[in-house]
């Protein structure tokens, strides 16, 4: 008879979700240090068209510089709609960098 020990990963609770405009580095930092379990960085509705490129850069920097896992957070990026000309750059820039 063999015995196998299964080590379960600690599950992260998703009790609260926080939407953060990518155009605001200050709000991104606050979200990273908040009590929210899930943070989504928004490039779509929360960002005015003239600010989308800057928001994309802010989000890329936050994804690279902040250790979201160590802070106990799940993080995602909300891109612009598939029917917009912003969507392609959102996907390519965020994934490549």
pLDDT digits (tens, 9 = 90+) for 51-70: 999 999 999 999 999 999 99
- Which two structure tokens, joined as six digits, stand for 89? 């750059």
Q: Is the predicted pLDDT of residue 2 greater than 70, yes or no? A: no
For residue 43, which of 13, 82, 86, 9 has the smallest C-alpha distance? 86
CA distance 45 to 81: 10
Cα distances (Å, whole numbers) of residue 96 to 29, 60, 64, 91, 93: 22, 9, 11, 8, 5
Q: Does domain 17-96 have CATH number 3.40.50.970?
A: no
The upper half-sphere exposure of residue 92, i.e. CA atoms within 13 Å in the direction of its Cβ, equals 6
Q: Is the pLDDT of residue 19 over 90?
A: yes
Mean pLDDT for all residues in the chain = 92
Six-digit token string for 97:
């960098």
In this prediction, residue 14 carries a pLDDT of: 82
Is the confidence at residue 45, as pLDDT, over 70?
Answer: yes
Query: Taking 90 as the threshold, does the pLDDT of residue 82 lie above it?
Result: yes
């Amino acid at each position: 008879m063999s015995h196998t020990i299964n080590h379960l990963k600690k599950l992260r609770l998703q009790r609260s979700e926080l939407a953060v405009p990518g155009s605001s580095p200050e709000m991104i930092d606050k979200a990273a240090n908040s009590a929210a379990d899930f943070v989504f960085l928004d490039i779509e509705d929360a960002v005015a068209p003239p600010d989308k490129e800057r928001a994309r850069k802010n989000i890329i920097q936050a994804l690279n510089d902040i250790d979201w896992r160590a802070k106990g957070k799940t993080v995602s990026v909300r891109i612009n709609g598939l029917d917009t000309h912003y969507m392609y750059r959102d996907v390519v820039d965020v994934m490549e960098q």
